Amino acid sequence: MKLANHVAIVTGAGRGIGKQTALVLAEAGVNIILAARSVPEIEAVADEIRALGRKALAIPTDVTQKLQVESMVKKTYDAFGKVDILINNAGLARHNLIPDIEEQDWDDQIAVNLKGTFLCTQAVFKQMCDQKYGNIINISSTAGKVGPPSFGAYSAAKFGVAGLTEVTYAEGRQHGVKACLVCPGATDTKMRRDNHPDDVIEHLIRPEAVANLILFLVTQPKQAHIPESIIRTSLM
C-alpha cells in the first residue's frame, strides 16, 4: 500500500465527504484521526476503520476553538508521533440573500469554514515542515470559485480558504509540504439536503467521488503538485 502507516487527521469526519475520505484513506493503509463535534458518528466511523485493520482515534473537536484543535493534534502526536495528511473538511452552510443574513449566521460560517481550516493547518504546519513532508487538503466548493445568490457568507468563507491554501503552499513547498484545494459542486451530503431539499439526487456528486479524488492527490509523487481540483455538476 502506497500510504501504509501514514497518519491522517480528517475533520468533519462523522458523515458525508469526511466519512468517505476517512474510509478510502484507511483502505489505502492510513491510520485515521476522526475529528468532529458529533461523537456517536465519529465513534461509528472509527469502528468501521478498525474493521479494515487500521488504527483510528475518534476525538470530539470543535474546529473553531483553538484549544480544542491543539488538544486534538497533541493527542494525535502522542498516539502516532506524526501527521502526514490533514483533510480540512469541517463545514457549515446557511443560505440567505444578503439582506437576510443574520450576523450570527455570518460569524458561524466564517468560523467553521475559514477559521477552522486555519486553526487546524496552523496546529500541524510546523511539525510537517520539520519532518519535510505533509499533504494538506482543504475542502472548498464551487461556491468558492463563483458566488451564487444566497451563498454570501459561505462563498466568502470558501474564497478565503482558497487564499489560505495558496499561502500554505507558498510557505510549505520548500519544506516538502503541499496544500491542495478541492472544490466539489453540489454533493449528496446532509448539509446540502438541509439547504436544498428539492435537489434531484441523480444530479449530485457522490461523497465517494470526492474521497477518491483526495486519495489521488495525496498519492502523487513529491515533485508533483496539483494546486486545485474542481468537480462540477449541472447544479453548480
> What does DSSP assign to residue 38?
-
Residue showing cell 472548498? 140
Three-state SS at 135: strand
Integer Cα distance of 171 and 203 in angstroms: 38
Integer Cα distance of 4 and 82 in angstroms: 14
87: CB partners within 8 A, 6+ apart:
8, 9, 10, 11, 18, 21, 137, 139, 214
Report in angstroms the alpha-carbon separations of 116 from 30, 69, 97, 157, 169: 23, 9, 24, 11, 18
The b-or-e profile of 49-71 (16+ CB within 10 A means b, else e) is beeeebbbbbbebbbbeeebbee
202: CB partners within 8 A, 6+ apart:
none
Is 154 a residue of the active site?
Answer: yes
Active site positions, annotated: 154
